[in-house]
Amino acid sequence: MKKLIKVGLIILLILPAFTAYAEGTGNNDANNIVDLDKKTFLEKVFNYEKNAESWAYEGATPCIINFYADYCGPCRRLYPTLVDIAKEYNSKIIVYRINTEVEKELAAAFGIQGIPFLIFVPVNGKPQAATGALPKENLEEIINSFLLK
């Protein structure tokens, strides 16, 4: 009986890690996608608390910000495409992602109504946004014609 309880506890401790990995929400270093929370968003992307009047990108490399939720089917379908994009454009752009279920304040700050919601942020200029699981070809076109022009 004690052995069974130990095995059950081990499974309970390990299962969330495997679930997160399978959903693409685990350690993102291998995927070149960076998870953001409010604090890192304010530091790396846009400090809307300090610069409420105008957009001021904090980064030196263009980026794509993916607002998603784990329950969202289109978000899960888009994730492998974003992993490919992040690997192919490794030093040219950064791919960030923000879980709207965890970072509700960030989602509200951008008025996000539907997910996946992508923001394309050039180093200079205003960002552009798109909703939905865009095909890789469309993402590459936006990257090449807008982010890297």
Give yes or no: 75 in active site: yes
The catalytically annotated residue of 33, 65, 72, 106 is: 72
Burial of 34 (0-12, 13-18, 19+ CB in 10 A): middle
Q: What CA–CA distance (Å, rounded) separates 104 from 120?
A: 20
Q: What CA–CA distance (Å, rounded) separates 23 from 33?
A: 14
Amino acid residing at 118: L
Q: What CA–CA distance (Å, rounded) separates 61 from 90?
A: 11
The catalytically annotated residue of 75, 86, 98, 119 is: 75
Tokens standing for residue 2:
């004690």
Give yes or no: 63 in active site: no
> Catalytic residues, which ones?
72, 75
